[in-house]
Structure 1
């Protein structure tokens, strides 16, 4: 369905926004929106309308998510308008609306047919890939073309389907398949290769792990004996080691017990020594040292107290000076300004007299006879001064503007008169539009001369290829080729499958037959080897011998005990040469002999019997396989006979199914070549006809516009290019003339507006000048100036008044300063007299001399006061030191008395000897406790038990017994090592026969590898099949779409490059066909040699050509482009727009952009009627 109007009712930033695509004269629409105008939302709306609004939409930032609505009016194929609206939600979100009112109408039905028509049967991603293109995807497509080095199939397929990276996808499929299986023998890292190698290796391990069970009993018996011996030696060793540990324990505690007895005796001898504290010596020494130090401190404190008392008595102080020190200092800090104030008072008196004389002279000069106070009253205030300055400035500015405006009015009148004299040139819009459409139609034909030459060349190439194809097919003509009846692929596949199945069965049977033959030869060799070692007795021969023995015994009973009548005949049947008793004895001896032989060599007998049984089984299997292979050969002959009859009936050559499939494909390709030849011939004729018709239309249109056209043959293809160029030149000149006329009209209108505005401005300036002149007249009277004085005169009078006011202010300031200084001098003199009263002295006569003497007295008084404070502080410190020393002396004497009481002595001099004895007693106690702890650690037995066990033993006896025990342990260790080695060898031998897991591990590894093999086969097959199918689709698409798609793309590419490239060609000189571009001079350029911008243009041309070929399947789907011209300059953008204009003849093209300059580029390239502009 064709989109007529897009109704953005509530979506993104839009509310009831309508974009009308039916208003323009053509199908090329340029949608412009500046940044943040909603261009991206409008793009998403184009897709969401068709496929539904996503659950998590990013366009719900203005409207609530449940209120999002997108509507549209479409034109059905029947020509009737239909309205649809899409809401955000779940389930059926598409409903109908009235195309006229653009409101939802629930009465109108909605079915799945509308959904299919709206989406074209496509998914969202398919629609965006085929009919949507933005700048990023355009650049990506161009880069893929450059990176793919021009591979023809990939370029055409990707451009047609809008897909990405077909070549890379093929390479990835091949690489993934090689990870699973690689046909190269050296590729062992692939999963299937590795699994197959592991299966072969583990099969060899499994065969080697199968051992003979007859050896198990001997090995088991040897293992049990070795284990018993090892247990006995281990138990004896444990007994010996326990005895050795007991001897070691006794040897360890024996010296400890002797040391214990010695220390106990010594401790008993020190029982009368008092128990003093460990720190008693240190405490005594500390007390003695403290007493000596305290006595020294007492002597120093007494001396310091005497010194301070004598110094305090010698000091002479001035308490009144110190009491009023702050007042004296403040007054002394102000005394230095007295002399300066005397000088400044005299200077101010002289200045006051000078300023008064200058004021009198200035007043007389300004207005003779007027007093100073009257003139001061005439001086304007600050606000009045600002208003006066404003009036003066505005009057001067307005006068200048008034003169300039009058001059500008004269200039505008002259310009308007010149523009009115110019004569406009008009062009009929219908005739111009007819010429434009005719030229666009002719341009859509492309380079007709080149296309005609290409068609002729293609016809010749295809005829040559068709002749080669007939030769390859061994056919005489096209009629003979068409007379054959191809066999269906299913029938070929069925016959091929039957032959493959028979061949596979023959291969399997043949392989098994050869394997059975090899195994049979091996068993026969083994049979002969067993027979060569001597007579072989088996259970069957023993059974036969015993049966003969039993038969002889039965005959003896019948003949000699039961005496039956026919006994003689039975005896002759039993042994015709010997008598019955001798024959029975021989049979009995033979049975016993075979039994003895079987018991003596049971292993060989079992192997011989097994070998015989396998030989019999293998011969039977070989016969079965031979019969099966004969049956398969007959079946193959039957299939080939039926196949030959079927080929003969169809008129086909007698070849195998696989070659026949290729022959039929080539037959189909040859017939397609014939059809392509006819199509190209018809296209060539149609091209000549279209070129002639286009040339005739251009001639008529030019003549209608009054242009002279030379007489040319309309059917001549070369004349079309000249006519198109002439028409384009006329269009360009017409556009230029229209632009000039539009600019001239715009200029006239602008000049008129400026003239009217200027006249209004002149009137306003006249009114404003009158207002300022009236205000200035009042000020002239106040300032004693004549009427209509100039602004300079007003400013000069104001300067004079300012000078007068300044001198008057200066006079007042000098008088005030003189009074202030005199007051300060009087205040300082009064303060000096008050200070003298405070000190009890007479009033000073000379203020400066009194201040100097007072300053010196204050310094001396402060120094003496500071010295007194230092002496008092030293006296207090000495008193405190004396007090502390006395208290410390009492405390340390108490400590000495306590220590003497603890030592039970009366004098401190005896304490050192007692402290040494007490220390020795403590040391003996510590050693005794340590020995007791060592005994507890060395043995868990009690002291009495240890003494009992050591009775009668000394250290030498214990050492002899322990050495003897250790020698016995060493001998037993050697026996244990030998027994362990014997047990280990027996156990390993037994495990190798009976308990070895090599066979199980090998079987498990085989199953694991087989599982990996099976699991990798299916993915590998899928990957290979996908690679083959994709490559085949690529090849078929190239063969089917190459000619028309390259032809269409050549036209678009030539337009986009401005004729720099004539057409696109294929180069099949290499192993794969590649796409090239031919310049105007005939030079061919490979794709990888192009610039990035040209690569983008080529990709866009291929996309347009692919969409043009597929337009029949989706006739009404629009092509939506988003900022595809963002990196193009104006010339390249104009060329691309011309190509898109040609493409839009068959369907809608919508170009979204936020670059405003493209609008002007489109107007210059296509004209006002060449596209429709929409603004968001």
Structure 2
């Protein structure tokens, strides 16, 4: 069975989402989406569609439970089914017309699979993969348990088996214990029997006691009636006393409200609004006076500040000079220190040279630079070359290893020869069993047939179902009077042609939508560019070349007027000076803001490019719309030419699909009838062939044996042969692997000896190149090498001190002095006075003063701007306060602000009275016990309020007396009842019998549960052992191949250690090394579990109907190479059943295409 498509109609976060799964040779489909995209939801949806929604589901957060719906198109063995499943208690399967379908409609597609079996066998995610690997680690000492739980997808079988045994021990065991449930219940039974024997039954006369109880009950009833009457009277008097003041208050409030007359109602907060406005006016006027004085003071302070602009222009150079002064301050002392270090290093080098017997120059490092360089070069020439020294060190390092390798090679050859002799002895002792091929073929055919009776019933059900489906499909087609042959001859567009037309129309619509989207995006981009340019101009105010040319022209005109004599020097000098300063200032500002000007030009160019692309996108929109109109006209002409009724392209697709379902149902009916006819003949032939094959193998066969009995007998025989074959193959493999290893060890021993001889020759040659005698001891050579390294190291350090430190510091000091002189000449106008450090210190002090003046001017300007903004806010507050009172004055009908307050007071008084009246009325209704105001007033009028208190006191006394009498009679009645109960006996015997029955029930429950638990543990152990016996050979062979593929050849195959009890599963590397499950890494153990699951699934698919395999993020921790290997393993599985792979890594799509090809189906969530 496979999905052609899957509909998430109303499920979880999805609404009307369809996932298409087209047929391919390798039925593999990849669904990619980020986290929280709905991949786990899709996996749960598959199970809910095939096996029904659970009673409670967390996926109803968007759609109500009664609206949840899933759909799919299933394909299997040439048959197909389109259906929906809804959330409900019955009739949850529906066809595409929402007609209920029987619950058995999915049986031909699902077979005997259940929801739990499908989830464990055909579903695998990363957490379950990791859990499976961990469970294999816990069960590593039992190969049967490892195979069974990996194949069945059942995790933690060991814990289940141990839990069953532990529970059985707590229920019953031959040895008595107080903690076991059976013996606890037995103790309770003994105690109940003893209590039952101790209970005796008593009987006496009770007529007198019974009459006394009846008299007390009658007296109690009479007293209750009297007490109720007194309580009713007290309630009425209390109501009158409680409500009389409120009724008086209500009348007074109503009279006061009438006395006010008509009143204009103003807002509740009118008085607060008036007070707030008056307060705002006073505050604003005060702020206006204060901030006016502060504005004048700040303007005068800003005019008194002087800023040295020339010094600030060179601020960066002055700061750099000062930083260099601090950085180079210790250079003179450091130069002397490094010279001393070089002299010390030279002494160490000469001491080592003297120990080597080399001549040492008399002059040291105190001479001039040329002589020092000559001395260092002479010492360097005495040293052997660095490759020679390194070669001698390497030879010293290799010597001990070569000697040890020769000894190890000899030991390894002896050990491998002993292992080969042991394996040969075990092979000679194995028996040889060869089942005939005819027996294997007949057995496979019998297994494939399944249960004969079930197969016959299923064939009959398939025929009936096919006939019903054909009738249902003909009814859904809506073509009355036509036969199947007429439908076949009907000339209609083919499905591929219709698909091409649909795809062409969808492509045109998508192109038009894409063009419109592109045009809208480009239009928005143009608007964003224009706004960005406007905001950039407002923010940076870039100065262009035209601005500079304009002020320069004004400067030249002022100078020309002075030069030509149009104006005198006294008059024109000030104008010319201002124009000159303005021109220089703009030129400097343009140089400083050249980056902003360039950025503005760049943004304008980008705007022009975006406008050109927008115009081009608009032309594409018009062209795509014309193509879509042309396609619609062509489709109308095509329908008329084929003689089809006028219908849309989408409607024709549904009609053709229904027609194909009719033809498919007819074909299925004919095929089912042929299969039913041939099933009986096939069953009889298999019985005959299997009996003959068993007899040919020398086995005794009962002539009356059924096909099931013959099949089990043949399976046991073949299983025994497979066990012997697997063990022989394993031993042969060990022998084949050990013999080449022995030969390799012999070659390695020879090679090691040759390497030792070669070392001796290289050693003599290396000593000669180093200038050492050939017979020099190894220890002496090591000492000489150490002294040579000391000389080389000291010479290197001397050169490093001279080149990297002393010369560099002298160069930096010269550069610092040059920079200080340049800055002093630029600011003082002459040659500098003093050294460079003093110049740097003076300039830094002047720069600090100039910056403080600049900061002071900025702070005063900022404070002035703040004061001016406060003045504007004060004026605005005065205007707002006056405007806020205008609505109230208009509503109150007054012209002056002083007239508004009395009107507000009158309105508030009217509101208070109305609220008081409403409150009292509500209290009357609340406390009036359901009486109306008129009824309450009538009771008050009838009552004598002056005598009300005395009447209530007397009534309280009567009620208290009646209560005391009731209490007395109740005590007497309780005593009489207690005496009567005592005479009638107790229930001690009943309680004892009840405890006895409870104990018997506990013993029965413990026995029943013990039988179930003990049987379950035995069945689980038997299932594990039988699965190992039947599936171990073929499953391990296939799992080993998959495991080798997943580990990229790191492991060659899987093997079983038959010498251990129970047998242990191990991984075999290419070099013959065996690694148990406990020795595998976490990732490799997960790959082993995946290999076993895939192998078990392939074996299952060979015996049962295929179902889709759902893989959820299996390769989350794999690199690309191992992920590709895992996908190749899934590719082999996809040739047997549909594989749907879920992942949130989009880069795996490219890896999957390299395995399945570019045409692989990828769905994005």
Q: Which TM-score band applies after superposition, normalised by the shorter structure?
A: 0.3 to 0.5
Greater Rg, structure 1 or structure 2?
Answer: 1
Using the size of structure 1 for normalisation, the TM-score is 0.34
Using the size of structure 2 for normalisation, the TM-score is 0.34
